[in-house]
Chain A
Amino acid sequence: MTLGEGISKPIKTFFIEAGELSQFAIRFFREGFRPPYEFQELLRQSYEIGYRSIPLVSFTAFIMGLVITIQSHPALEVFGAESWLPSIVSVSLVREITPVITALICAGKIGSSIGAEIGSMKVTEQIDAMEVSGTNPFKYLVATRVLSTTIMLPLLVIFGDMIALYGGFLGVNIRGVTTFDLYTTQVFNKLTFGDVLPSIIKSIFFGFVIGLVGSFKGYTTSNGTEGVGRSANAAVVISSFIVFIVDLLAAQISDILHLL
């Protein structure tokens, strides 16, 4: 293999995969909203994806809130601006840290689980069995999972915001005494609609990406059980990568629209 071929092959693979993922997304919009609807499976997936992720998201958000508050304290102390701590920490948590960290946690937990589950169904012919029984496997397996992650991730982010802010409250109280009333007043005086809305909107896209990439990698699994492992792994890596790109785009768009 020449050096040129060595470089061009991964680039070619990247563009082929990006094209296939786009087609998969188009198929989701074309088939996902047409009857018959799989409400029961949508509810089951929302429970699995949303409710069962609450402990992990809570724990991570709490630690984030606590740690960021503790680490920001010395820097603000230098300028005598400790009273600004709740406001500054809450804005960075709500705008950026909680949505992105929650999305990355969910890409690991949910993305890999979707990739592995659909992948193993693919290699054991369960998807074919579904098709011959008269069920559209794309609607039943893919559309329900993508919709569930798109709906549940913003809810998890809002829940994570609250837990992270509580972690921040405990962090503020490690080196001083601030009542919960004073803390919440300071937080909500500073937080605006323009902080919360872009964060929720980008979480919707994060959820969509995690569900879509997980389902895509699972649905296109080949090479038996080895392929299932690869699909689960690729689902996490690719969705995490796209989460960062979406975050960057969201920051730019918010800036242009003066939402920040």
Chain B
Amino acid sequence: MNPMAENRNETVIEIRNLEKSFGENHVLAGFNLVVNKGENVVVLGRSGTGKSVLIKCIVRLLDPHAGTIHVLGTNMLDLKQEELDNMRAKIGFLFQSSALYDSMTVQENLEFPLRRHLKRNVKYDIAKMVDDALLSVGLKGTQKMSPAELSGGMRKRIGIARTLILNPEVMLYDEPTTGLDPVTGREINHLMLEVQEKFRTSSIIISHDMNCVRMTANRVVVLIEGKNYAEGTYDDLKKSQDKNIKQFFD
């Protein structure tokens, strides 16, 4: 069963009139987006159109110039640092480059966010939590490996495991299949669907890989010139005769 069907109207992320500029370059110019619980929304756009900027604004790696961002009912732009850190624990972020810490082993990479967010007076079985997270991405037994020993696909999986270890309610994927061969890319797409189903996450997936869009999207938002240009299911958009949309499918 499609997980989004159960909670179709429960809004998890709501973005209104988001604006972000870099000098004279207006990357986001009044962007709007609503993501419902259990839904995978793909933001589709050409390189340099502000897709990554959008999700970096959601976790406040970048501060927008105007607009509002609500995640799980909390206005992200009003949070103090400590509140922001607590909110960030509920949001998993997979970076384009996976961003694994080179100086740490896989085990230490997964433990790093855990140690920041676990309550001090509760005893946790950290080793088991790491094992479980690695099992959920199909990479059990890699604890002692360093990021340099991992393939591109494995790095992405470990990156996903590192975010899953905190049981996030929201996942943000920044071009998850970029730089991977088609087979590994497909595996990552399946993994994202498994994460959606198993962890009941709501996700924004940034991509221009049409296989990824086709496999993972419950809904697609096309971002052109910093605004929502079109929105719909993959099949809806595929049928469109608009040349700006057709260019992604041709």
Q: Give the chain B neighbours of A249 by CB distance below 8 A.
A: none
Q: Give the chain A neighbours of B162 by CB distance below 8 A.
A: 133
**Cβ-defined contact, A128 with B95, below 8 A:** yes
Known: A125-B99, A126-B99, A126-B102. A131 touches B89 (CB 8 A): no
Quick check: is A182 within 8 A (CB to CB) of the other chain? Answer: no
Q: Give the chain A neighbours of B97 by CB distance below 8 A.
A: 124-125
**Cβ-defined contact, A132 with B61, below 8 A:** yes
Q: Give the chain A neighbours of B96 by CB distance below 8 A.
A: 125
Quick check: is A55 within 8 A (CB to CB) of the other chain? Answer: no
Quick check: is B93 within 8 A (CB to CB) of the other chain? Answer: yes
**Cβ-defined contact, A135 with B99, below 8 A:** no
**Cβ-defined contact, A134 with B116, below 8 A:** yes
Q: Which of A125, A130, A132 contacts B59 (CB 8 A)?
A: A132
**Cβ-defined contact, B88 with A133, below 8 A:** yes
Known: A124-B97, A125-B97, A129-B95. A134 touches B86 (CB 8 A): yes
Quick check: is B248 within 8 A (CB to CB) of the other chain? Answer: no
Determine how close the nearest CB of chain A comes to the CB of B164; give it in whole angstroms: 12
Q: Give the chain B neighbours of A133 by CB distance below 8 A.
A: 88, 112-113, 116, 162
Interface band, chain A: 10 to 19
Determine how close the nearest CB of chain A comes to the CB of B119; give it in whole angstroms: 13
**Cβ-defined contact, A132 with B88, below 8 A:** yes
Quick check: is A239 within 8 A (CB to CB) of the other chain? Answer: no
**Cβ-defined contact, A128 with B88, below 8 A:** no
Quick check: is B85 within 8 A (CB to CB) of the other chain? Answer: yes
Chain B positions 137-174 with a Cβ under 8 Å from a chain A Cβ: 162
Quick check: is A69 within 8 A (CB to CB) of the other chain? Answer: no
Quick check: is A120 within 8 A (CB to CB) of the other chain? Answer: yes
Quick check: is B91 within 8 A (CB to CB) of the other chain? Answer: yes
Q: Give the chain A neighbours of B112 by CB distance below 8 A.
A: 130, 133, 135
B82 (CB) vs chain A CBs: closest residue: A134
Determine how close the nearest CB of chain B comes to the CB of A205; give it in whole angstroms: 28
B residues at A contact (CB < 8 Å): 56, 59, 61, 81, 85-86, 88-89, 91, 93, 95-97, 99-103, 112-113, 116-117, 162
- Can you name 20 A-B residue pairings with CB atoms under 8 Å? A117-B103, A121-B101, A121-B102, A124-B97, A125-B99, A126-B99, A126-B101, A126-B102, A128-B61, A128-B95, A129-B100, A129-B101, A130-B101, A131-B88, A132-B88, A132-B93, A133-B162, A134-B85, A134-B113, A135-B116
